[in-house]
Chain A
């Protein structure tokens, strides 16, 4: 849709419109409302079947009152050569600063440091932050709430599309930003490629029942949920790990990744013998396939379990424990010091720098153990590390393609119902959710993502020209609210733009596209 083409045309003949046209109408109408502040017409629009109000992270749009048309004062925007602690904190804990968010967080009388602390506190306690608008939107993707067995009734491509939409919607609009960041972190940590076998259907349940509920919860609980997740039993072959006869050797696939990736880490001090012993402990767990009754249900078959005595990481597990072997193994590994180091290092790489200081990793690992795997307490320790606030790491984290797309949508306050087009950009950049083939998940390293600039630039151009289906931005409103181009740039970059950047913005012929495509916006 072209800018300026924003009348709600559907109002004339709603009965003849396709669903897509309704959505477009909604987006167009939404833009009209935003641009003119014409709240009166919202009631009228709400009566159009299919109309949906524009999605905004409630309270975050930062609309400044323009009461009488007089020029309003410029809002506070990030300033300085480097992002200040508030901008830095928001950019690291979230998918990117929104327009007006800086001014809103920096309430009068608060220092940036105090505002940053308040932001951390709120993000670590999402149950106190209302997210109803987003949740209502996600509920429209009804298939994602289907009970496990019902998921099999859907075409896998449809299911994947809906999952991708939900993931993007949440990342863009959820006010529980840290939770969404951690959902992605754990979804990578416990990676499952939805294209393997019945993961096509079961990954939706894994995301909903394993990853999301525990993303800010207790790591040992999440680990257990993952170990017994039907999708994980498919993905890492746990379902065929059985020893019904002495001739049958256990399948070690899950056991190895449990130690190498999910807990201790590759140098975490386990041996091949430990892998084999863990595989024995976990033998007999399986999942009913889609041709069986009670499809997708996880079961323990005692006759396929090796019930002899085992030793895991030097700890004896006596014979005859049966299915309780699993809990013994997870107890041994979940709170192992190597696990603490492994997780702490990954978290520090995500939130501090690709090569984080050892003191930070140690402090986070220590708190992980002290809190017995409490993820919030662990994160709190991380945010309290001097390294987290260290200016040398600010604006130094290269955004992964998914983060770039979402940051751009947030920075432009886009009204976005993500569809196939955005998913195709993610695929072109090799970062489509739930489609990483091997168990280590999408990398935290910046290097492999560097080759994605062309698609980022293309996306920036398409977004700024309102050429992405289902997505709309209002540049005039953005510019006005930010108090002009420099304010707009400062909010997107989290700092005062350099004179080169200002000049390039002015001379590019498409300042917004240049801003989003610029080197600085690729980092946070």
Chain B
């Protein structure tokens, strides 16, 4: 490997490197609440008490609306930075959170997670970074399994040699500078990356463009992520969970704060990154499955099939709801009365991964045993 490639390897080339952010809504988010098909009469019939009326919803394309509490995403949609795929999901029909998450994150019956395989084979395999992949939170998700470098981070302090390591750092710089070839470059670039992280930690952070993050954990994690992306430390993928979508009972009280966090957090994140930053950052929002079309007797919904995915930034052809709508007529429903999965999540992810450097041969490794029909997103 040449010295040049080592440099990109350790620091990340801030100009070329793109960051993929995967937001996983754990617990099976109700796509019919996030993006209600307000022009579909079957929707209103199935959800008499919790439906969003056409007047209340934020208009998207005339047929679908956005939940009013997700208003923070509306400008992104209008500016063409966000696309929505409805009736999306996987072929796993267990309706079990664990099984469906596991299946989706592994990409079927496969070794490693889809994001891990992407990073190892499809991203920039010649440019592995020590900070290549992170999860903001306590535990790495299955999707990152098998990644060449993946770290669960909860604080920027983890990216440091400690508070009193100045002399040590200086002496490391000295010894690595005496080396030749790969190891010298790797040492130098690691020290430089640490320097940038140090600067990041010691400065107070003011989000750009007037972006305002909420105090909730999800928004604060996005805030930290935006800082890392701007520091150009070689971040290729980040995963963030937003938990708590399993709304069997009094759905509205459960989902309302979550929708506000999701939209508010992502809205602030995109604003903070600005046009330049968001162009090289893709955000994918996904969930393991959706919920039963008909509401249950406790103002909740049970486990279903199709849900919704959001794609932001990174060159997405946004301002659109992509794909076909299978409808909510009883003849179109799956199993016990669930929105059908018209769009396999892999077909949604594949074009995003292409924009992050994966070619066709990589996609076959990232999504094995599956014939891709990539969507136009």
7 closest A-B pairs by beta carbon, nearest first, are A437-B112, A193-B111, A437-B146, A196-B111, A504-B171, A509-B167, A430-B148
> Whole-angstrom distance from the CB of A188 to the nearest CB of chain B?
14
CB-based contact B152/A195 at 8 Å: no
CB-based contact B182/A446 at 8 Å: yes
* 21 A–B contacts, CB within 8 A, in A order: A195-B145, A428-B149, A435-B146, A437-B112, A437-B145, A438-B112, A438-B365, A447-B182, A448-B148, A451-B9, A451-B149, A453-B187, A461-B165, A461-B168, A500-B175, A504-B175, A509-B166, A510-B165, A514-B171, A517-B168, A518-B172
Q: How far is the CA of A116 from the CA of B200 in the complex (A)?
A: 50
Q: Which of A46-82 contact B (CB under 8 A)?
A: none
> In chain B, what residue has the closest Cβ to A445?
B1
CB-based contact B190/A453 at 8 Å: yes
CB-based contact A510/B194 at 8 Å: no
CB-based contact A453/B111 at 8 Å: no
B73 within 8 A of A: no
Which A residues fall within an 8 A CB radius of B? Answer: 193, 195-197, 199, 235, 398, 424, 427-430, 435-438, 446-448, 450-455, 457-458, 461, 500-501, 504-505, 507-510, 513-514, 517-520, 522
Q: How far is the CA of A505 from the CA of B172 in the complex (A)?
A: 10
Chain A residues in 8 Å Cβ range of B183: 398, 450, 519, 522
B258 within 8 A of A: no
Q: Which of B65-111 contact A (CB under 8 A)?
A: 106, 109-111
Chain A residues in 8 Å Cβ range of B175: 500-501, 504, 514, 518-520
B193 within 8 A of A: yes
CB-based contact B110/A509 at 8 Å: no
> Which among A195, A429, A500, A510 is the interface contact of B168 at CB below 8 angstroms?
A510
Q: How far is the CA of A453 from the CA of B130 in the complex (A)?
A: 8
CB-based contact A451/B164 at 8 Å: no
CB-based contact A519/B187 at 8 Å: yes
B45 within 8 A of A: no
> Which among A435, A451, A457 is the interface contact of B129 at CB below 8 angstroms?
A451
B142 within 8 A of A: yes
> In chain A, what residue has the closest Cβ to B193?
A454
Chain A residues in 8 Å Cβ range of B146: 193, 195, 435-437
B150 within 8 A of A: yes
Q: How far is the CA of A461 from the CA of B182 in the complex (A)?
A: 23
Q: How far is the CA of A507 from the CA of B170 in the complex (A)?
A: 9
Q: How far is the CA of A513 from the CA of B165 in the complex (A)?
A: 10
Q: How far is the CA of A510 from the CA of B183 in the complex (A)?
A: 22
Give the size range of B's interface with the partner.
35 or more
> Which among A448, A451, A514 is the interface contact of B172 at CB below 8 angstroms?
A514
CB-based contact B150/A508 at 8 Å: no
Chain A residues in 8 Å Cβ range of B129: 451
CB-based contact B109/A196 at 8 Å: yes
> Which among A193, A454, A522 is the interface contact of B130 at CB below 8 angstroms?
A454
CB-based contact A454/B194 at 8 Å: yes
Q: Which of B95-135 contact A (CB under 8 A)?
A: 106, 109-113, 116-117, 120-121, 128-132
Q: Which of B143-162 contact A (CB under 8 A)?
A: 145-152, 159, 161-162
Chain B residues in 8 Å Cβ range of A450: 1, 6, 9-10, 182-183, 186
Chain A residues in 8 Å Cβ range of B245: none
CB-based contact B172/A455 at 8 Å: no
Q: How far is the CA of A429 from the CA of B10 in the complex (A)?
A: 12
B354 within 8 A of A: no
B373 within 8 A of A: no
B230 within 8 A of A: no
CB-based contact B149/A461 at 8 Å: no
> Whole-angstrom distance from the CB of B174 to the nearest CB of chain A?
6
Q: How far is the CA of A457 from the CA of B175 in the complex (A)?
A: 13
> In chain B, what residue has the closest Cβ to A424?
B152
> In chain B, what residue has the closest Cβ to A398?
B183
Q: How far is the CA of A497 from the CA of B120 in the complex (A)?
A: 37
Given A427-B150, A430-B147, A447-B1: A458 touches B161 (CB 8 Å cut-off): yes
B254 within 8 A of A: no
Q: Which of B166-210 contact A (CB under 8 A)?
A: 166-168, 170-172, 174-176, 178-179, 182-184, 186-187, 190, 193-194
> Whole-angstrom distance from the CB of B126 to the nearest CB of chain A?
9
B228 within 8 A of A: no
Chain B residues in 8 Å Cβ range of A457: 161, 172, 190
B231 within 8 A of A: no
B211 within 8 A of A: no
Chain A residues in 8 Å Cβ range of B113: 195
CB-based contact B130/A197 at 8 Å: no
Q: How far is the CA of A429 from the CA of B186 in the complex (A)?
A: 14
Chain B residues in 8 Å Cβ range of A504: 171-172, 174-175
By CB atoms of chain B within 10 A, which of A427, A451, A452, A461 has the most? Answer: A451
B279 within 8 A of A: no
CB-based contact A235/B152 at 8 Å: no
> Whole-angstrom distance from the CB of A239 to the nearest CB of chain B?
11
Chain A residues in 8 Å Cβ range of B375: none
CB-based contact A514/B168 at 8 Å: yes
Chain A residues in 8 Å Cβ range of B179: 519
> In chain B, what residue has the closest Cβ to A505?
B171
Q: How far is the CA of A518 from the CA of B178 in the complex (A)?
A: 11
Chain A residues in 8 Å Cβ range of B112: 193, 195-196, 435, 437-438
> Which among B6, B132, B140, B171 is the interface contact of A508 at CB below 8 angstroms?
B171
CB-based contact A235/B111 at 8 Å: yes
Chain B residues in 8 Å Cβ range of A436: 146
> Which among A435, A500, A513 is the interface contact of B145 at CB below 8 angstroms?
A435
Beyond A199-B111, A504-B175, 14 additional contacts (C-beta under 8 Å) are A193-B112, A195-B112, A195-B142, A430-B149, A435-B112, A448-B148, A454-B130, A454-B193, A461-B161, A504-B172, A508-B170, A509-B166, A510-B167, A519-B183
